[in-house]
Amino acid sequence: MAKNKKQKVKRPKALPPRGLRDYFGPEVVERNEMLGKITDVYQRYGFDPLETPAIETVEALGSFLPDVDRPNAGIFAWQDEDDAWMALRYDLTAPLARVYAQFSKDLPTPYRRYAVGPVWRNEKAGPGRFRQFYQCDADTVGTPTVAADAEICGMLSDTLEAVGIPRGDYIVRVNNRKVLNGVMEVAGVLDPFDPTKFEAERGIVLRAIDKLDRLGTGGVRALLGEGRKDDSGDFTGGAKLSDEQAEIIMSFMDARCDTGGATCTRLRELVAGSDMGLTGVQELETIAELSEAQGYGSDRLLIDPSVVRGLGYYTGPVYEAELTFEIFDGKGRKRQFGSVAGGGRYDDLVKRFTGQEVPATGISIGVDRLLSALREKGRIGDQDNGPVLVTVMDRDRMADYQTMVSELRNAGIRAEVYLGNPKNFGNQLKYADARNSPVAVIEGGNEKENRVVQIKDLALGKDLAADITTNEEWKAQPAQMEIKRADLVTEVRKMIARADG
């Protein structure tokens, strides 16, 4: 900086890189509080926190992102001094796989871990879509039992209620990739002895099912056959299945019945002949039974064959938490809020490092989506509790004002003294307004002499504040009262309680 003084200074732009943003005050507090409630549930379920560094080697991360629908999705990567490539993590699962491969001898088996933190994607940012965002994951590594999957589904349900989504406003949908594969086998697009055969067709089928919400059954049916022309005239090639094959897939998607038991019975018929499919149905039945026994009935957990999720990744049960209440979208149309969390079983991630298959299952909560759901429901958003402001009437008596804030703080009340230029009292009140202060404390020379102070209910007086600039005008208002200096803490506390109540 010293050097710059002599040169013509080229000023840096005061902007973050594109696609990144800052979070202020209540936004940070609200997110932290929500994450605290989530991790309390995770902790109670016996999950242990793990915090990995933001940076991993590129080889440890792997060159793939979980969602194969976006193959161009990128990472932020650079070369270290010794030319090794390193990158910011794009999720919390890849680092978990690295940690488990590195420390498996020291970790308990099974290893239940949770992780909370930002991840980074080098993608085009859009409205509400940023290149850094939070994830909040819980995974159980090292056990093949679907009791682990059932546990995670139950935990997901408890978590949603803990953060403030009432029962009835969410549903956890469960499916199983093995059932899907069984249906594919029955339809003749999966050969258990040659898993690579028909890979392209299966990809199209899976993506089609994933789009059921958007395209409807007609659209999906078209994609199973010759293909589909969308409204803009663009044509998407289909899987070119025969009518008979396509019907098998369509009946799978339509297999959901009123109860989990009935759905499983229907699925069992559909996958008859496929060992993998039958195993999958059996697993779904076990999950439904275990959940039912713990009180997670069909009002909270639903076997739903239409759930597929990020397809390159999962090997068994997959699950998704949806919020079922309605909101208005950008175009003023009512729609369900939709998915806020999801996950499933993935048995191959640790294998990349060690060669050994390590069964694992887990969920990831979409922190920002869940936050915005809670805002929609009015569960958060009024947490901007500003500090009590002790105003400065006489700048030579800062010590007096500091003593007042000390007393308030020692009593647990958020409080501060005005540290700007105290000359203009109106500025102090504007400041209190900007800080969302509930109460202002005023002690001029007269008050000091009489051992009293004025306290001002700013919540009550907020509407009038714009027009008031002098202490005298404030005094004339009903929201202001004179109290004994000795009663400062008691009276301020009362006034805050009134404002909150």
Cβ closer to a copy of itself: 59 or 67?
Answer: 59
- Shortest approach of a copy of itself to residue 78 CB, angstroms? 4
- Tell me which DSSP letter residue 259 carries: S
**C-alpha to C-alpha distance for 189 and 181, rounded to whole angstroms:** 9
Torsion of CA 186, 192, 196, 201, to 10 degrees: 0
Cβ closer to a copy of itself: 64 or 235?
Answer: 64
Torsion of CA 403, 408, 410, 415, to 10 degrees: -90
Cβ closer to a copy of itself: 77 or 460?
Answer: 77
Work out which of 132, 265, 372, 477 binds a copy of itself, going by CB under 8 A: 132
Query: In a 3-state reduction of DSSP, which class is residue 34?
Result: helix
Query: Could you say whether residue 55 binds a copy of itself (CB under 8 A)?
Result: yes
Question: For strand 415-417 and strand 388-390, is the pairing parallel, antiparallel, or unpaired?
Answer: parallel
Those residues whose C-beta lies under 8 Å from the C-beta of residue 20, and which sit 6 or more positions away, are 125, 130, 131, 132
For residue 289, report the phi and psi dihedrals to the nearest 5 degrees.
-65, -50
- Shortest approach of a copy of itself to residue 250 CB, angstroms? 26
- Shortest approach of a copy of itself to residue 141 CB, angstroms? 10
Work out which of 164, 188, 312, 338 binds a copy of itself, going by CB under 8 A: 312
Q: Are 483 and 452 in contact (CB under 8 A)?
A: yes
Count of residues engaged in binding a copy of itself, rule: CB under 8 A: 107
For residue 220, give the nearest of 200, 247, 199, 257 by alpha carbon. Answer: 247
Query: Could you say whether residue 311 binds a copy of itself (CB under 8 A)?
Result: no
Q: Are 340 and 208 in contact (CB under 8 A)?
A: no
Work out which of 33, 71, 129, 147 binds a copy of itself, going by CB under 8 A: 147
Query: Could you say whether residue 398 binds a copy of itself (CB under 8 A)?
Result: yes
Work out which of 136, 150, 264, 308 binds a copy of itself, going by CB under 8 A: 150
Tokens standing for 73?
Answer: 């999705």
Residue 473 corresponds to which amino acid?
A: E
- Shortest approach of a copy of itself to residue 94 CB, angstroms? 10
Q: Among all chains, which residue has been given the structure tokens 């008031």?
A: 468
**CB under 8 A: which stretch of 84-92, 277-285, 442-450, 476-484 binds a copy of itself?**
84-92
Residues 13 to 52 in contact with a copy of itself, rule: CB under 8 A: 13-17, 20-25, 27-29, 32, 43-46, 48-52
- Shortest approach of a copy of itself to residue 269 CB, angstroms? 26
Number of residues in the chain = 501
Residues 177 to 216 in contact with a copy of itself, rule: CB under 8 A: 196, 199
- Shortest approach of a copy of itself to residue 12 CB, angstroms? 4
- Shortest approach of a copy of itself to residue 39 CB, angstroms? 9
Q: Are 426 and 413 in contact (CB under 8 A)?
A: no
Query: Could you say whether residue 334 binds a copy of itself (CB under 8 A)?
Result: no
